[in-house]
Amino acid sequence: MSKSWWLEDLPPLHSARVFSPDIEIIGAGVTGCSCALSLARAGMRVRVHDAREVAGGASGRNGGFALRGGAQAYDKAVEFLGRDVAREYWRLTEEYLERLAALAGDALTRTGSLRIAADDEEREELRAEYEALRADGFHAEWRDKLAPPLAGRFRAAIFHPPDASVQPARAVRRLAEAAAEAGAEFVEHHRVESLDELEAERVVVATDGYPSGLLGELEGLIIPTRGQMLATEPLAERLFAMPHYGRHGFDYWQQLDDGRIVVGGFRDAALDTEFTDVEETTAVIQDALEQFVASLVGRRLEVTQRWAGIFGLVLDFLPVVGRHPDDERIWVAGGYSGHGNVLGFMCGDLVAQALLGGPHPLLPTFDPARLVAA
């Protein structure tokens, strides 16, 4: 019951042996595999380490949403970053969602997503975001009328056409396979305890919310946060055609092709317990998830699997990407605040491009030094 649905039946990964790596990457999730792929295709000698298997952490333990944008609502990002930076950020995530779709193959399905309002206050907030998206040329649709079983329970929604459902572990495994084919080495089931173990002159730490012990004063500033999920028995009826995301991210669910529902969230049922790196489910939140599913479908469903994963929360909701402020050898990519499937893919490549000598103009926005300065 504790194994993620996404991690079932994944084939083993085979990679070559790399001698004298130019760059070593800690973490074989979406960020590390994206970074490895870009570097290996550019001719760099890359070695990737993970304490478990490829995608064994948050990349194989999340909700399976591939969403454009950041963790903030778009209108809030405009206020915080300024219109030009926010617009470039959102457009960049759309570009990387397209790239991820091309690499993931049938592990990703372009369904769109629904951002839904549970009450009138959230409806007004969603409407403000919708207006900001439309004003800046982003495709979005406002929906006042929702079909059953959403009708009567939720007030309105934004439909985001570019978004997708993804089998995250399978998609990340495909990134790893492509990186291995380009020459990257993967060392699974090996936890790096010290940088002294590593040969390369440059190291990328891509563990997001899982503490690495390698980041000095940055350690803990990307706050480990637990996300819990469950998967139900398959349903004969098709109730949900796309990922759904509501209550500011405290509820999220989708129905898979085989009919089962995967649902996560409800951290606010016991928020004081969920800022942790302990990857375990708890009765309080699992019970809340079960009751939520029952209320959506009108009956109790059998739960076939329960699991938890750890993501990195950052107080300004921006990714943390760039060179470590106190150690020029170390680069960091993480802090996706629960939106890691696309942001992690994007930020892994942004680090790779910076290491290759072509930093993106947005990179200063994500500079790790801001956390220390705060």
Q: Model confidence over 178-211: pLDDT tens digits? A: 999 999 999 999 999 999 999 999 999 999 989 9
Low-confidence ranges of the chain (pLDDT < 70): 1-2, 374
* Residues in Cβ contact with 164 at an 8 Å cutoff, skipping those fewer than 6 apart: 65, 66, 67, 97, 101, 108, 109, 110, 111, 112, 113, 243
> What pLDDT sits at residue 329?
95
> What pLDDT sits at residue 1?
47
> What pLDDT sits at residue 321?
97
Contact 33, 181 (CB under 8 A): no
* Stated pTM of the model: 0.96
> What pLDDT sits at residue 2?
66
Amino acid at residue number 147: A
Question: How do beta strands 261-265 and 223-232 pair?
Answer: antiparallel
> What pLDDT sits at residue 17?
86
Would you put residue 265 in left (φ > 0), alpha (ψ -120 to 50) or beta? left
Scanning the chain, the segments in alpha helix (DSSP H) are 30-41, 74-81, 83-104, 120-135, 168-181, 283-297, 340-355, 369-373
Q: What is the distance, to the nearest Å, from the Cα of residue 298 to the centroid of all Cα atoms in its chain?
A: 30
What distances in angstroms separate CA 40 from CA 214, 276, 333, 350, 352, one per listed residue?
A: 24, 34, 18, 14, 10
CA separation for the pair 55, 166 (Å, rounded): 13
Identify the CA nearest to 247 among candidates 277, 303, 292, 291. 292
> What pLDDT sits at residue 220?
86
CA separation for the pair 325, 254 (Å, rounded): 39
> What pLDDT sits at residue 283?
97
